[in-house]
Every structure is written in C-alpha cells, then in structure tokens.
C-alpha cells in the first residue's frame, strides 16, 4: 500500500535543518498528508488506513504527467499545475525549503507569490505577521523581489513564544536563537525588517504607513484580528491580504473573526481550495 506520511499539519519535527531540499532533482510535490484533529484515535486510524487504500487506487500520484495530485490535503484530478512549469518559482521553493512540508504547500506558495507580485505596482510596502523560520518570507524576497521595486518588507514574529493568550502554538524551531537565524536568512534582501515582538502590540512602532500586500499566518485568532484592526486603514486600495489559516477547520475561529471584520468593513474574503483566504481591499466596497 502507498505509504502516507502522517506528520503534523503545521510543522515536521523530523525536518531537516539544511537549506534547500531537492535542489538537484526535478521538482515534484512530496506525497504527504497532514492529519486533521480527530475525535478519537480509532477514528483516526480507520480514516488513515482507508485514505492510504484510496490513494493507492489513484496512483501514480504527484509524478510529472500524473492525472491525480495529492498535496496539502487536497486531491486534484486533471489540473494543470501550470505554476510548476515556472522554473524560477520551483528553483526558489527548492532553495528556500527547510522541510518537506515547505514543498508540499507549493500551490499555497504560488497563491502567495501571485498576490505579492500583483501588488508590486501599488503604493506601499509588504508585511508578514507570522514568519517563523522565514520560509514564506524568503520565497517572497527571492521570487517576487520587493526590494527591486523600492518596497520595504516588514516581518513579525515572537520567535520564542510562551503559551500566553493571543499567541499561536509553539513549534519545534522556536527558541532564543531563531530571531538571529531569521535576521541572517533575510539579510541579503535590502529593505527587509525583522521585528521580534507580539502582534498587534508591536505594530504601532514599526508597521509601514502604507501597505500594499499583507500575509497573516499566526495560527491565532486574537493576533490576526488585532493585526487586521490595526493595519486595515493602512492598506491601499487594491492591496491584497492573504490569510494562511482561513479555510482550515482547525482554525475556524480565525475565519469567523476575519469574516466579521470583513463584513464590518465592506470587504469580501474568498476561501481558496488551498485553505487560504484572500481579499483585495476595496476602499469603496459595498456594505
């Protein structure tokens, strides 16, 4: 039976720490399954066993020319995956990846970089709340190159969080050296500012006055609601916001609060098949 990797959704504790994964081989999305929250262990085992059998029926999966692709918990049949034909994109993913999961989320990263690229011509800077090891931030820097367009990119994280309210859960690479590692990693890109601090408290001192692109990825409803409340007025008309956790059932509180905020501000969030939410700010939106 086809093995399904049941590593956890947000991180891979067994992840390799070396930079760049699969850089010497043609790009292929790894076959990996992120287990959702299950009520009990036996339901989890039953589901995973049947999923393994089902994926086996669908094989070959994730190969060049495969009809079916299973990635980021999404089974697609007959999709083009045209972004994988962009060699500069796949080379960037492979160069920036630190763990297999980084490659599994290739479609998410395509959406993210598409949004960032679409905002390059607008006035304002880039912001990311929830940077962790800076995978998404480095892909944006390397592939979208905001610095070449005169943009600043301000990224926020606690880097060594406690389990306090308003803070996402702790991940394996969190610790007192992570801030310095991320600062090093993003140092080659001029205009990038790495802020170690709690969102939204750190925003008034450091956030750009005008923002054209924002990525929210904090796994925490209070932090993301606070970021939206503080930064929304700074987002320029046509600016884009990508909410990484929006469509994942486990993070439904984030979706509920983001939807409430959007409704109060005349905005419309689309839930994407990748699990992300996306809205394009319309200053004159319908209410």
Per-residue binding string, ligand SAM, 7-46, x by CB under 6 A, is: ---x------------------------------------
Q: Of 217, 239, 254, 281, which one interacts with ligand SAM (CB under 6 A)? A: 217
223 binds ligand SAM (CB under 6 A): yes
Restricted to residues 68-127, the positions that interact with ligand SAM (CB under 6 A) are: none
Closer to ligand SAM at the Cβ: 48 or 222?
Answer: 222
Long-range contacts (CB closer than 8 Å, 24 or more residues apart) made by 174-177: 174/132
Q: How far apart are CA 56 and CA 77, in angstroms?
A: 14
Restricted to residues 197-216, the positions that interact with ligand SAM (CB under 6 A) are: 198-199
Q: Smallest gap, in angstroms, from Cβ of residue 216 to ligand SAM?
A: 9
**211-237 CB burial, b ≥16 within 10 A, e <16:** bbbbbbbbbbbbbbbbbbeebbebbbe
Q: Of 157, 185, 228, 232, which one interacts with ligand SAM (CB under 6 A)? A: 157
Under 8 Å between Cβ of 258 and 228: yes
Q: Smallest gap, in angstroms, from Cβ of residue 135 to ligand SAM?
A: 4
Under 8 Å between Cβ of 30 and 21: no
234 binds ligand SAM (CB under 6 A): no
**What SS3 class is residue 239?**
strand
219 binds ligand SAM (CB under 6 A): yes
Under 8 Å between Cβ of 129 and 223: yes
Closer to ligand SAM at the Cβ: 3 or 175?
Answer: 175
Under 8 Å between Cβ of 271 and 246: yes
Count CA within 13 A, CB hemisphere, residue 208.
24
The residue ranges that bind ligand SAM (CB under 6 A) are 10, 130-133, 135-136, 156-158, 161, 166-168, 171, 198-199, 217-220, 223
């Amino acid at each position: 039976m086809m093995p399904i990797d049941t590593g956890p959704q947000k991180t891979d504790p067994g992840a390799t720490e070396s930079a760049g994964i699969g850089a010497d081989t043609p790009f292929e999305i790894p076959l990996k399954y992120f287990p959702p929250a299950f009520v009990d262990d036996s339901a989890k085992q039953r589901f995973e066993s049947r999923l393994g059998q089902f994926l086996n029926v669908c094989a070959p999966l994730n190969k060049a020319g495969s009809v079916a692709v299973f990635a980021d918990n999404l089974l697609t049949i007959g999709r083009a995956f045209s972004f994988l034909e962009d060699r500069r994109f796949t080379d960037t993913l492979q160069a920036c990846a630190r763990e297999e999961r980084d490659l599994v989320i290739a479609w998410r990263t395509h959406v993210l970089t598409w949004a960032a690229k679409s905002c390059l011509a607008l006035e304002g800077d880039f912001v990311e709340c929830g940077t962790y090891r800076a995978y998404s931030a480095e892909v944006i820097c390397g592939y979208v190159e905001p610095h070449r367009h005169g943009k600043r990119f301000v990224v926020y994280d606690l880097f060594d969080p406690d389990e306090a309210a308003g803070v996402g859960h702790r991940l394996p690479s969190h610790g007192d050296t992570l801030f310095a590692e991320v600062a090093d990693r993003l140092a080659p890109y001029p205009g990038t500012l790495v802020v170690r601090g709690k969102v939204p408290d750190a925003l008034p001192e450091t956030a750009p006055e005008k923002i054209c692109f924002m990525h929210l990825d904090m796994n925490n409803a209070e932090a993301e609601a606070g970021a939206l409340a503080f930064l929304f007025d700074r987002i320029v008309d046509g600016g884009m916001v990508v909410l990484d956790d929006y469509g994942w059932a486990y993070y439904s509180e984030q979706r509920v609060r983001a939807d409430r905020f959007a409704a109060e501000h005349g905005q419309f969030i689309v839930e994407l098949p990748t699990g992300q939410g996306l809205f394009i700010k319309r200053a004159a939106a319908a209410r």
